[in-house]
Amino acid sequence: MMNIGIIGYGKMGQIRADAIELSGKAQVHSIYEKNTLVENDFSIVKKSSEIIDDPKIHAVFICTPNYLNKPLTIQALEAGKHVFCEKPPAFNSNEVEEIIKAEKMSGKKLMYGFNHRHHGSIRHMKKIIDSKEYGKVLWMRGRYGKSVDNSFYDTWRAKKDLAGGGILLDQGIHMLDLFIMLGGVYDTVFSDVSNLFWNLEIEDNVFAIYKNTNTGVVASLHSTMTQWRHLFSLEVFLEKGYFVLNGLKTSSGTYGDEILSIAKNRTTAPAATWEDEEHITFHDNDSWASEVNHFIDAIQNDSPIQIGNSADALAVMKLIDRTYNNGV
């Protein structure tokens, strides 16, 4: 049985612990959390180094505030541990390249928590796109937003030195990762990064357009922290049909039901009708289990990380760098 240590036992650490225990392939050996711990049945250590340096631990899950992700990942890799780290991997792509050097030197598995790739609706879309049944992707539009209140000012996410950025690094990174997954690499970026309401040192809105000049695919993003009614919406239009995903099954339940609408072909020109659509509701969120199982299987079978590897992390962080710099 593989032993896993968890650094950071807040909401994400608890989600990961549950998925690890349910996998039947590994067990949580010990946890570290600097704040008050919720009730748990695991061995508790007083320092993160006690997990990283423990020879009985095979893999480390890093579920900490953003500023700790890079240093803890490198420390764990250098200590000979496999590493699963939450997003963002670092504050910029240069830092990710430093991590990749440590990864290559260690020979260990490194995976990042780009959890949305594991949702049933996204997997279904990806399968159809790869089949070429609907032709090639033409364009995508992603909107991802949430609302916060004044208590947000007191959290680490509101402080640039701890978070690295605002809503783009918090939520927008997931949508950009899906753009890359479904549409390839984007080499042209136009963006407006702004603070429309909260007046913090981090952005609360990002409007951006991305183009893959090799394929012609264009994707537009609105990532916002002033979406008073939480929203997840991803539209993918192809030559012979389209996908419209509204809602996302999450632990908070604030994004509504995860409903994927699919229309094959455009039927009678100029447009498909509502009756042409197939609607699939994904009632269960098995993304956490899928993600943890993928990581554990890669370690036990010595197979590559296919989803959420360091190359994926580098690609999305390069896109984020250019978004913050209006395409430069």
The larger pLDDT score, comparing residue 246 to residue 40, is at: 246
> Does residue 268 carry a pLDDT above 90?
no
Write the pLDDT tens digit of every residue in 122-139. 999 999 999 999 999 999
Query: In sequence order, what DSSP letters do the residues of 69-126 get, joined into one string?
Result: HHHHHHHHHHTT-EEEEPSPSSSSHHHHHHHHHHHHHHT--EEE--GGGGSHHHHHHH
pLDDT at 321 over 70: yes
Mean pLDDT value across residues 152-177: 97
- Specify the pLDDT at position 253: 86
Would you kindly state where each structural domain of the chain is located, as residue ranges?
2-115+289-305, 120-248+250-283
pLDDT of residue 328 exceeding 70:
no
Alpha-carbon distances of 265 from 16, 32, 271, 284, rounded to whole Å: 40, 52, 9, 28
Q: Is the pLDDT of residue 207 over 90?
A: yes
Residue 199 · residue 140 · CB < 8 Å: no
CATH 3.30.360.10 fits 120-248+250-283, yes or no: yes
The pLDDT, as a whole number, for residue 324 is 97
Whether the pLDDT of residue 212 is over 70: the answer is: yes
pLDDT above 80: residue 181: yes
pLDDT at 39: 82
pLDDT at 36: 79
pTM, full prediction = 0.96
CA distance 242 to 265: 8
Residues 6+ apart with CB under 8 A from 153: 200
Burial class (CB in 10 A: 0-12, 13-18, 19+), 154: exposed
CA angle 14, 20, 23 (to 5 degrees): 140
Residue 183 has pLDDT above 90, yes or no: yes
Q: Same CATH fold, 120-248+250-283 and 2-115+289-305?
A: no
Asked if residue 290 has pLDDT above 70, the reply is yes
C-beta atoms surrounding 151 within 10 Å = 8
Record: fold of 2-115+289-305: Rossmann fold (3.40.50)
DSSP-derived 3-state class of residue 141? strand
pLDDT surpassing 70 at residue 269: no
Average pLDDT of the residues in 93-97: 98
Residue 184: is its pLDDT beyond 90? yes
Per-residue pLDDT of 23-73, as tens digits, reads 999 999 999 999 878 888 899 999 999 999 999 999 999 999 999 999 999
